[in-house]
Amino acid sequence: MEKFKIKGKRKDKVKSLSKGNQQKIQLIASLIHDPKLIILDEPFSGLDPVNTQMLIDSILEMKSKGACIILALIMWRSFVIN
């Protein structure tokens, strides 16, 4: 929770968190076991620029560990993940 800067307490229910924090919790649950294949559907939806960059950094970290990453984006953003 510290890495993704989620506001709230560990005992808070996910539905009580903001949409952005709910999305980060879902991402943590998806990445916690270091998967080799990651499929993300609209992962940047609802995130502000700071959290978008944090997510990009996490995706790049997983890529550097050898994960294959598939992103489904409806709208092309002004960034490229290499």
Q: How confident is the model at residue 7 (pLDDT cuts 50, 70, 90)?
A: low
Q: What is the pLDDT of residue 24?
A: 77
In a domain, 1, yes or no: no
Q: 14 vs 73, which has greater pLDDT?
A: 73
In a domain, 40, yes or no: yes
- Total of domains in the chain: 1
- Whole domain around residue 57: which residue ranges? 14-72
Residue 64 confidence (pLDDT) above 80: yes
CATH number at residue 47: 3.40.50.300
In a domain, 8, yes or no: no
In a domain, 24, yes or no: yes
Who contacts 72 (Cβ-Cβ below 8 Å, separation ≥6)? 39, 40, 41, 42
Q: What is the pLDDT of residue 1?
A: 46
Q: Which two tokens stand for residue 81?
A: 């993940």
